[in-house]
Structure 1
Amino acid sequence: MELTTITYYQVSYVEGFLAVVRYTAYNPDGLPEAICEDFYRDDPDDFCRLEEDVEKALLNGIDTSIMSAYEQDYFPVITAFLQL
C-alpha cells in the first residue's frame, strides 16, 4: 500500500486568496512524475473546488501540501484527512 501525505501550513493572509495547493504525483519508482500548483480564490465556489480537489487527489495517491491563512478546521474535508 502506498502512503499519501497531506500537509497543512498556516501562512499570512493575502487579499483575495483562500489557499495555494501543491499536488505531487509519483511514479512507481518513487520519483516525482508531476507537480502542479493551484491557486484558490477566497469565494464560495473555490472553497468547494478546493475541498473537492484535495479529496480527489488524496484518494488517488497524490500528495497534497496546502497553504492558507485560515485555520485548518475552517475546511471540514481537509480537517478530516489531517486527522486520519
Structure 2
Amino acid sequence: MLAQRWMWIAWPAFLVAGLLEVLVFAFVDPQDLHWFGQDLDLSRQAMYTLAFFAFWVLAMVSSALTLLLGMSSTEVNR
C-alpha cells in the first residue's frame, strides 16, 4: 500500500515537472538567469536538470498534500 501511495505522488509530479520544464524554458534562456544579482555559472544542461528536479519536488509536495487532505481522520490518526 505504501508503494502505491508513493506512485500516486511521484508519477503525476513527474509529468507536471516535465510540462513545467517545457513551458518555462520555452520562454526563459537558462543563461539569462541570475541568483541574488550574480550570474549562475552553470551550463544550460545543468540548469535544465536542476530546474526539473526543483519542479518535481514542488509537484511531489503538492501531490502529497492532496493525498493527505483526501485521507479520512482515522487513516491520518493511525
TM-score by length of 2: 0.29
Name the structure where strand makes up a greater proportion of residues: 1
TM-score by length of 1: 0.27
Structure index of larger Rg? 2
